[in-house]
Structure 1
Amino acid sequence: MEIRRLPADEAAVRRYVEELWLPYHRHLEATVDAHALADDIDLVAEETEFRLDLLETESHRTWIAVDGTDSDGSRGGLDGELAGFVATDVDESPVVFDRPDRLVVGDIYVRGPYRGRGIARELLSRAAKRARETGCSELTLDVDADNEHARSVYETLGFETRRRQMTVAAEEL
């Protein structure tokens, strides 16, 4: 298993969206309250375009866990089996706040057949390396309150709850 950076290449990003991003969000849609995908757009095309733009920024990185070698026998592309991913962004602290810069884990996912093999730990270790490279002293992430499995994994890895995010419909206030 290798952790490789997702290149800003349309074919690679489309494959990532189809094989990892969309199944991850379909899983969340089925298991987490208030997580729904739009049903009146081409999700793959829209997300591919969005990710390509994001990959061009300096603060964003996505890494893919790839199982196997590429079709040319090398281990540099994304031709192997895609096992999981982690997407991150640098969150620089404004100087008026006494807090460190953070690396935000926006999404992390490991496909079912690959769970229990330490891949989430490998992906988060790669994110931690990026944090150190960019001067961020913390990793942070949001987890859905009813995603007990994910919360358990993160707690096992040392993440602690520091804040709670709350929402209300605007018309209710």
Structure 2
Amino acid sequence: MEIRRLPAEEAAVRRYAEELWVPYNRELEAVVESHTLADDVDLVDEQVPWALEKLEATDYRIAVAIDTDEAGSIAGTDATLAGFIATDRDPCPSVFDRPDRVVVCDIYVREPYRGTGLAHHLMSRAGTRADEAGCSEAVLSVDVDNDRALAFYGKSGFEPLRHRMRVDVADLDGWDEKQ
């Protein structure tokens, strides 16, 4: 197994989107009630330019696990893409007393590779990324109904930092009268 940085190249990003990003989001959609994908768009065609733009930014990275020993580009190998981790850097403004952080945006391991330790290797990659970026913390968000992810993050040492809540904007109408 090799973990490689996803380059900002259309063919590599397209393969990542088709083989990892769409399956990840389809699985998440089945587990998390609030995670619904659009039906009227081609998910890959929408994701590729978005990911390319993010990858060209200085702080966003995607690392892809490839089940291979062969060299070559992600787009050019026939090897199986086994999982990925996406990270971003969250620098702290000088007015706050907290460290810079690496944000784990997404992490996914395909079914045949679950339980093999790959998720831990991907999280270790996030740790390396944090070290390289001068960050001393890693943070992430997880859906409250994603029990598997909650268990994994808890076993990995993550602790709750804050609660993120949502409301439909229509439900905010009339709040000034409710006070």
Q: CA deviation at 1:30?
A: 1.2
Q: Which residue of 1 aligns with 2:24?
A: 24
Task: Give the distance between the partners of 1:31 and 1:148, measured in 2 at CA.
Answer: 9
1:67 equivalent to 2:67? Answer yes
| Pairs within 5 Å for 1:13-162 | 13-69=13-69, 74-78=70-74, 79=77, 80-162=79-161
> Matched residue of 1:30: which SS?
helix
Unaligned runs of 5+ in 2: 173-179
TM-score (norm 1): 0.95
After superposition, the CA RMSD in angstroms is 0.9
Deviations 1:84-130 (A, max 9, x none): 00000000111111111100010000000100001110001011101
Task: State the one-letter code of the partner of 2:11.
Answer: A
Task: State the one-letter code of the partner of 1:115.
Answer: R
**Structure 1 residue ranges (4+ consecutive) displaced by more than 3 angstroms after TM superposition:** none
Unaligned runs of 5+ in 1: none
Task: Give the distance between the partners of 2:98 and 2:72, measured in 1 at CA.
Answer: 37
CA contact (8 A) 1:4 1:76 kept: no
Q: CA deviation at 1:77?
A: 2.5
Q: CA deviation at 1:76?
A: 4.3
Task: Give the distance between the partners of 2:67 and 2:168, measured in 1 at CA.
Answer: 43
Larger radius of gyration: 2
TM-score (norm 2): 0.92
